[in-house]
């Protein structure tokens, strides 16, 4: 379940499109003018956020393990061919919390997108988002399609139109099922990019981002109450608190913690708790998973605390290169693991120890994610970025070809 470049991020030219979440380089002298109470901190000059990459990778692994070992009893039996009590009797109820890794993704995404968009034009923002999401997403759809149609999988054989709709990444508004269940997280991300692009168009400043966070919070509460379907779809009330808190945390990181920003974070935390604990129409399906509420509160609160630690600079000493490498594998791992991994479990679940099978499968998927990122995704994204950077985004007719 599930995300997400170069101008504002101090990384190598080859890796800019995949590592936007890990560093920022904006000289204070060039930063947009801000209120005196929110002057940029020294951290805004440039620092690699390896801790953020590490969290992103852990969130992805948590989701991967959840899909293999912690899903609902009916799903587990369908995949493994036997009830979960026979394969993961003690660990199932704990590993089921891996589904919450998606919420950590959204928190990180709010932080990262705000960071990577700072000082960029709408054109640059658009190109960075397209080249960040679509190349790996298309690879994921094509790989999943090949696995589904070439092997006996627990997913069945969807109608071909499902595949075409999924390639657009707009299957939700089209009313088409996700080819892979993990794709549901991409629609909230797209809506976030669309709404945040308004602020990017005006130019990011402390005040504009803070005001945007406040307006989005109000809209996320009022849109469903006012029965405004289009606005509800755009603001994504269930996911919004995590994106909003992530933006506020980035403002803390770039400038400093202020009562206003802590107020935004607190309101976001309260709304996140509301949607997590809502019986119907909230973040979770209580008919299929009903853990102790206290563990949910502690887990989500822990996520907020971890991002707060990064925002306040408490993790600045963490600079391990391998965490940054792990961060580049997060998106490929997230998009590739579900169909491939569950097909492996479906075929070999009764031929070897399930725990060993899960460990080996996760390790193999991590390796596959690294190879796909290095050899396939990165070259495609690099070509797309070069092509888009040379393209005209105006509505004027292209020059007439002569000869």
pLDDT at 14: 38
CB neighbourhood size of 250 (10 A): 24
Is the pLDDT confidence value at 15 over 70? no
pLDDT in tens, 116-160: 999 999 999 999 999 999 999 999 999 999 999 998 787 778 889
172 in a domain, yes or no?
yes
396 in a domain, yes or no?
no
Q: What is the rounded CA–CA span in Å between residue 220 and residue 207?
A: 20
Q: What is the rounded CA–CA span in Å between residue 343 and residue 130?
A: 30
pLDDT at 349: 85
**Lowest-pLDDT range of 34-48, 184-198, 264-278, 347-361:** 34-48
10 in a domain, yes or no?
no
11 in a domain, yes or no?
no
Structural domain total, the chain = 1
240 in a domain, yes or no?
yes
Burial class (CB in 10 A: 0-12, 13-18, 19+), 285: exposed
Q: What is the rounded CA–CA span in Å between residue 240 and residue 216?
A: 8
Is the pLDDT confidence value at 18 over 80? no
147 is in which domain, residue-wise?
A: 23-389
12 in a domain, yes or no?
no
pLDDT at 397: 64
pLDDT in tens, 316-334: 899 889 999 999 999 999 9
5 in a domain, yes or no?
no
Mean pLDDT for the stretch of residues 344-372: 93
Is the pLDDT confidence value at 33 over 60? no
Is the pLDDT confidence value at 238 over 70? yes
| Global confidence as pTM | 0.87
191 in a domain, yes or no?
yes
Is the pLDDT confidence value at 185 over 60? yes
Q: What is the rounded CA–CA span in Å between residue 336 and residue 182?
A: 9
């Amino acid at each position: 379940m599930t995300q997400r470049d170069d101008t504002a991020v101090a990384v190598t030219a080859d890796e800019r499109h995949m590592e936007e979440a890990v560093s920022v380089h904006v000289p204070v002298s060039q930063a947009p003018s801000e209120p005196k109470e929110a002057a940029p901190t020294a951290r805004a000059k440039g620092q690699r956020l390896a801790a953020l990459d590490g969290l992103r990778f852990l969130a992805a692994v948590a989701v991967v393990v959840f899909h293999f070992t912690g899903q609902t009893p009916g799903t587990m039996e369908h995949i493994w061919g036997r009830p979960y009590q026979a394969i993961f009797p003690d660990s199932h109820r704990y590993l089921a919390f891996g589904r919450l890794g998606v919420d950590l993704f959204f928190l990180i995404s709010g932080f990262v997108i705000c960071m990577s968009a700072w000082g960029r034009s709408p054109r640059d923002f658009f190109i960075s988002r397209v080249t960040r999401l679509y190349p790996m997403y298309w690879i994921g759809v094509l790989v999943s399609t090949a696995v589904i149609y070439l092997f006996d999988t627990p997913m069945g054989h969807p109608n071909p139109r499902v595949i075409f709709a999924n390639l657009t990444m707009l299957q939700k508004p089209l009313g088409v099922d996700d080819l892979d269940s993990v794709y549901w997280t991409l629609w909230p991300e797209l809506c976030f990019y669309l709404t945040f692009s308004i602020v990017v168009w005006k130019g990011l400043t402390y005040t504009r981002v803070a005001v945007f966070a406040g307006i989005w919070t109000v809209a996320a509460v009022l849109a469903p109450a006012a029965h405004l379907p289009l606005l509800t779809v755009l603001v994504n009330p269930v996911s919004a608190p995590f994106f909003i808190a992530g933006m506020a945390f980035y403002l803390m990181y770039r400038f400093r913690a202020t009562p206003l920003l802590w107020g935004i974070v607190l309101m976001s935390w309260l709304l996140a708790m509301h949607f997590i604990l809502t019986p119907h129409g909230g973040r979770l399906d209580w008919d299929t998973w009903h853990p102790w509420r206290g563990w949910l509160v502690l887990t989500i609160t822990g996520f907020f605390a971890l991002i707060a630690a990064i925002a306040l600079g408490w993790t600045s000493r963490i600079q391990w290169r391998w965490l940054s490498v792990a961060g580049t594998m997060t998106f490929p791992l997230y998009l590739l693991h579900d169909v491939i991994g569950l097909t492996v479990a479906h075929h070999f679940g009764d031929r070897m120890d399930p725990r060993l099978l899960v460990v080996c499968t996760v390790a193999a998927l991590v390796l596959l994610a690294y190879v796909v990122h290095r050899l396939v995704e990165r070259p495609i994204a690099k070509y797309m970025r070069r092509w888009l950077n040379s393209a005209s985004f105006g509505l004027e007719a292209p020059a007439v070809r002569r000869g």
